[in-house]
A and B are shown apart, each in its own frame.
Chain A
Amino acid sequence: MANKKVSKKDIASLLEQWRQQFAVFAPSRESGVAAFAEWDGKDVSFLDWYRNTVVPPKASFLPPMEEMFRFEKGTEGYNIKPRPEEENKRLLFGVRPCDARAIAIVDMTFKDAYQDPYYLSKRNNTLLVGLSCTNPCESCFCTSMGTGPAESADVDLMLVDIGDEFLIEEVTDKGKELTRDLKEATEEDEAKAEQSKKAAYDRVTRKLNTEGIKDRLLASFDDQGFWEKTAAKCISCGICTLLCPTCYCFDISDEMVKQEGTRFRSWDSCGFPNYTKMPMENPRQEKWRRVRQKVCHKYEFYPMTFDVVACTGCGRCVRLCPVNWDITQVIESVPDKTGVNK
């Protein structure tokens, strides 16, 4: 498929054109932190300062809090009022390849066996327009996790920075419709794109060797000493899980005011002690068990179930952790006991 191109000057008009059919979300710093917000129609300054959002785009499909359904206690009993379906079409502009890959990974869980209506209704109504990274963070290690600063596998469109223009790779049909009346990209643009991708690829300095990690983790699953040392400085807060693009755990809670109530779904974290708390006992009360679960779910259990490592190297957990607990150091330090039969 021939790629298209658009100059950085015309991005605003392109977004405006899309705004006629979609609710367009783009990165913004208005709220004091980099996040996706409804595009205000003119600000494209994010093209300069934007590296990645703090809250990952998964929040558009699995929001920090959402109403599942409401209910009323009438005289003749309860009456459950499900929420109306999400119809408004949305477009997320500026999704980084690591987050797009993460969305594809989370999709697997919400589509597997039982279909999750809340997540999928939003997911199927949203187009993802990727933006290649030109300035990866020191904490990013996407190139070691099977994706990269310009990987376009999981988005509808991928914009690759080639100087004062963007080369647009159309990945899906829905993406194609968006760029119908844009200019074709020339050979020379393609070459510039390749060169820009290569440059960005090399700027990712943090590396992680995940070869054989699944078996290493299975072998040292019961090595309490190792996990206690790894978890020593962790303060069990929720930053590295709630803000991780491949984490999807949620909590369900009810609230009732007089005769009307609501059931909510909200983010939850396996790092919290009450996550698995049962009245009689809590199988993961100790901190080292919870840290082990966090690491093993992503690098051992998910690969065992869906044959993909549930981490795309976005680096959020490394740069946002209050105590600089670094997943790449932990993975490298997992002892190799696979040789010794357990």
Chain B
Amino acid sequence: MIRPDNVLVWATFLPVIGSAVILALMVVRHFLGLKKRFLDQASRVVTMVASFLMLVASILAWHWFDPRAQGLLVQGKATGVQMVSRAIWIRPFNVEWFVGVDGLSISMVLLTGIISFVAAIASMPWWQGGAKAIHMAGMDEDDHGHGDDEHHPKHFTVRMVPGYMILLLLLMTGMMGTFVALDMFLFYVFWEVMLLPMYFLIGVWGGPRREYAAIKFFLYTLAGSVLMLLAIIAVYYRSLPAVMADGTLSARHTFNLLELAAQGRAGQFATALPILGVAFSKIVFVAFFIGFAIKIPMFPFHTWLPDAHVEAPTPISVILAGILLKMGPYGILRFNYPLLPDATEWAANAIAVFGVINIIYAAYVALAQRDFKKMVAYSSVSHMGFTLLGMAAMTPMAISGAVYNMFTHGIISPALFLIVGVIYDRAHHRDMERFGGLAKELPEYSGLTGLAFFASLGLPGLAGFIPEFMVLAGSFPVYLTFTVISATAVIITAAYYLWAMQRVFLGKLNSAYAGFPDVNWRERIMLYPLAAIMIFLGFYPQFILHAINPALQLLIQNLRPV
């Protein structure tokens, strides 16, 4: 029943179906008086199943995707967009249900599938197996919700489980939808749908300072999306009508991203009337860019990330680092670049500068962190800087590197956050200074950590190296100086990772942590596949690149027609 023309719909809505089921269970529970324990377990099972099916769907989509295919024709030109499913949604607004994937989004779809599933596993309290099971704070199943003092918060996997699962599934839908939407309005809706559950997942199931983190995240992102909405409407009002799903022409304007891209290429927005004396395309570009830069997060707007990460429960950090951060660059490549080529040229240098700042600045800040999770969070900021730099350079190599960086970082940083979660579940703190010599107690864990660290600091043979190499090599001819500066990051990165390694795992064993259990099966299930992917991608990047390259080269070519 899953066919190429509806696989994306499945991938998007399977989670929602799951949450609906859980909701139904909650209602039914009232009438049948089912046990809370039963409801919890049931909702967990539903979540696992839904997210697994979502993974399957995304893998199928990847399998069916053909990088060489012409895809949907827009104004007679190939767009490479495939597996399209479209129908009219809100006729009066010219809004369509219009989803499909091209080389850019398919990689993100696959990533979303993988990471969502991992996050789902990470949300389960199961498979703690092994002789000495970990003591997760308050892992007792009877649960009066918020009965937690800050010192021993009830573990997030057992607090208000159904609610958590529903929100998690909604979040998944939001993310998947954002990546497949090809209608600006639809995109915006999914974007917000993804925003709200995140707010609660951090705010309700988070750490001690969760309120602050959640509010901060919420305000930042909402400020961004309001700007984005304005920009979307502004673009809408400068657009020309386009053919809609049913073959009729839309009224006066269109939300169809592909159409808009074609119009943008034709200079539709470059020549539009200025607003308040500023060139239309520039003002819109800035609006879009800030909206997305907050998600990346780009230098001045990045401070929500460490807080959000530190307070968020592990699976949410995983999703945050693995997928949400990717939506920034994705949005820029999906909106700013195709729609506003002229403004893109205009802004390229600025983007590059911000990229360099991200890389270096965040790397140094990470070097100074004591909190394990904060360090990893800042390293994310630093690594996303490479994506910015690559996008700015706009050479085929650099931009492929930028997108590939999104993918690899989407694999590595979740692994890192899982690793932090593992140690946090055991020690209930993340202060690296207080650890030491853990390698003796947890050899397997140390090995996995080492692998993830080296992958992240760009060791050749692991996933992290290739994108950095491509971005640097690609931007070298365009931004010589910037590249040189950015390249110094490889040293700093190595420094803070190895130092962390040393503080946490090497040296004499801190007796306080003697007798810690090594990774249990649940953690193995999550970490080993990710590790395998890291190695695989390190030696065979073409596996992803062959899918994204054509789309990106098409993008560049449209930016600068030959």
A and B are partners in one complex rather than unrelated chains: no
B-contacting residues of A (Cβ < 8 Å)?
none
